[in-house]
Structure 1
Amino acid sequence: MRVIYTDIRPAAASLENGATFYASIEDMLPHCQVLTLHVPGGGVPLLTKNEFGRLPQGAVFVNAARGGLVDEDALFEALTSGHLFSAGLDVYRSEPNVDKRFAELDNVFLTPHMASATIETRGQMGFTALDNVAAVLDGRPALNPV
């Protein structure tokens, strides 16, 4: 698979591994047959009607980032109009409540926010929690304050 991406700046050449960098999401979207979203945040939608419209006809969308990054009305419209072929959603705008319209579509795969559910990630989460406890008990600020 040819991989393309966008970010604040390109990755080091040694890390790109043949991937192609685009300076903006607007420039990248028309080249995405499959768009997977993996970014922090979630307050303001990153993908709206405009962005879904920039994807090629028949593209696939996967959101394993944050539900708040997606205008769900625009996504629903793109899926029901046939502009998007399908979507895989692991996160939702109003978690834990899933917009029931998506559950009624044959071209949508829904999972219960489990993108981080790997042995390695969960192990690291536990070690990070322990590091936070140790820091606080040592009089230092928590590494990841909530």
Structure 2
Amino acid sequence: MQSAAIAAQLNQYVTQLQQEGVLDDQFQQLIQLQDESNPDFVAEVVQLYVEDSSAKIDKIAAMLTTVAEPDFNELDQLVHQFKGSSASLGAQTIAFLCVKLRERCQSCCRSGCVLLLSQIQQAFEVLKERLAVFIQLEAQLKSMAAMQT
């Protein structure tokens, strides 16, 4: 009974994240790939995404703030990778901001890049917080299921 309530809460939370534009249908597809043979699939994908994205954001920030003249081609490549991984996870807001950041990279607009990086950092913090809640709910559901077996 309790696990059904947590499962409903988890589904409702994912729907809410989609309605808010934090995640899109791609995240739902990741959830559907998780099964008994790989019960931690989504948590592992989320953890890898967060670690990889944190490193990319830090590198982008370093390239924009510590170098006299950033290599906009290298920056564009890095942002392109970040956009791809964000889109694969379903982080539509971050993927959209990455598209805008790539446009600024291609026009060599450092101030525009810095502004967009700030927006990406804010969106990433929100995403991390929301994904942490999702992972907690999922862990509760697994724990309840394990107690019932």
The two structures share one fold, judged by TM-score above 0.5: no
Q: Which of structures 1 and 2 has the larger relative contact order (alpha carbons within 8 angstroms, sep 6+)?
A: 2
Q: TM-score, structure 1 length as denominator?
A: 0.24
TM-score of the aligned structures, taking structure 2 as reference length: 0.24
Q: Which has the higher helix share?
A: 2
The structure with more strand, counted as a fraction of residues = 1
